[in-house]
Amino acid sequence: MSASGEKLLNLTLQVWRQKTATDGHFETYQAKKISTEQSFLEMLDLVNEDLIAQGKEPIAFDHDCREGICGMCSLMINGEAHGPETGTTTCQLHMRHFKDGDEIVVEPWRARAFPVLRDLVVDRSAFDRIQQAGGYVSVNVGGAPDANAVPVSKKEADLAMDAAACIGCGACVAACPNASAMLYVGAKVSQFRHLPQGKPEAKQRALNMITRADKEGFGSCRNHFECEAACPKEIPRRVMAETFRDFTAAALTRED
């Protein structure tokens, strides 16, 4: 039982601090008496309490729900997006996965399309703009038919849900050598192409979203699949294959 096995750790952190576009650098902090029951962000909270007590500005990092669903938290931890555990966001990474005396390097997501705003906080608004290019079914409120009017097989609904689990955190981009957003695009394209409601716009959606991703400065996919390995929600790589298929069909048949 973990609760009885609580230990205290002393750690050395190398943390990226940045206030302007050009002053980024690492600073070293000691994190002392960190409980193995704490989460990684709770460890950073403690470091920040120390900094405030010294009259210094705390480390800025993005976080909100702290239960692995909002996608706000990020962080490259020792070079891995969301740290060493698979299928885990930084907010759900617990300190029991570290050892006493460890040195931990903490950096922001690194990608041209995600400029650093402050310390470990990056601007991910490019992700929203990709969704704005077509991540929806074009339907207004009112006039929807009864929800059971169109059956959806459990298999297709499950495939849609597997893709829809994406939390939009950006780990896929941070992990990709090309900073490609294809897993993120694919998650939305795949969700809708497996549902009858999303089918009419499926091909155009893939074309529009990929075109927007290119415009935002994300790289193209070269099948490294680092994204799949880093994804805290374990979105499968098949969503990208499905997206490329729709994209190709749309590109070959486009009329403009």
Partner 1 sequence: MTATTATPATSKKSGVDYPLSDLKLDSKIPAGPLADKWTKHKFESKLVNPANKRKYTVLVVGSGLAGASAASSLAELGYNVHCFAYQDSPRRAHSIAAQGGINAAKNYQNDGDSVFRLFYDTIKGGDFRAREANVHRLAECSRQIIDQCVAQGVPFAREYGGQLANRSFGGAQVSRTFYARGQTGQQLLLGAYSSLNRQIEAGKVKMHNRTVMLDVVLVDGHAKGIVTRDLVTGKIEQWSGDAVLLCTGGYGNVFYLSTNAQGCNVTATYRAYKRGAAFANPCYTQIHPTCIPVHGDQQSKLTLMSESLRNDGRIWVPKKAEDCSKDPSTIPEADRDYYLERRYPAFGNLCPRDIASRAAKVVCDEGRGVGPAVGGERLGVYLDFGKAIADKGKADVEGKYGNLFDMYAKITDEDPYKTPMRIYPAVHYTMGGLWVDYNLMSNVPGLFVLGEANFSDHGANRLGASALMQGLCDGYFVIPSTVAQYLANEKPAKVTTDHAAFTESTEHVTGDIKRLLAIKGKRSPRSFHKALGNIMWDQCGMSRTSEGLKGAIKDIQALRGEFWENVAVTGDADSFNVNLDYAQRVSDFLEFGELMCLDAAHREESCGGHFREEFQTEEGEALRNDEEYAYVAGWLYRGADKTPALAKEPLVYENIKLAQRSYK
What is the maximum alpha-carbon separation in the chain? 66
Look at residue 30 and give its three-state secondary structure.
Answer: strand
Contact flag: residue 214 with partner 1 (CB under 8 A): no
Mark residues 116-155: x for contact with partner 1 by CB under 8 A, - for none: -xx--x-xxx-xx--xxx-xxxxxxx--xxxxx-xxxxx-
- Our measurement of the distance from residue 42's CA atom to the centroid of its chain's CA atoms, rounded to an integer in Å, reads 20
If binding is defined by CB under 8 A, does position 15 make contact with partner 1?
no
Binding residues for partner 1 restricted to 47-106, rule: CB under 8 A: 49, 51-53, 55-58, 60, 62-72, 85, 87-88, 92, 94, 96
**Contact letters for partner 1, residues 175-194 (x by CB under 8 A):** ----------------xx-x
The binding track of 21-40 with respect to partner 1, each residue x by CB under 8 A or -, is --------------x-xxx-
Cβ-defined contacts of 142-148 (< 8 Å, 24+): none
Least gap, CB of 201 to partner 1 (angstroms): 10
Q: Are the C-beta atoms of 134 and 44 separated by less than 8 Å?
A: no
Q: Which is nearer to partner 1, 150 or 241 (CB)?
A: 150
Q: How far from the centroid of its chain's Cα atoms is residue 27's Cα?
A: 25
Strands of the 103-107 sheet, one edge to the other: 25-35, 8-17, 103-107, 76-77, 80-81
Q: Closer to partner 1 at the Cβ: 55 or 177?
A: 55
Q: Which is nearer to partner 1, 34 or 176 (CB)?
A: 34
Q: 243 is written with which tokens?
A: 């997206």
If one asks whether residue 198 binds partner 1 (CB under 8 A), the answer comes out as yes
30 alpha-carbon distance from chain centroid: 28
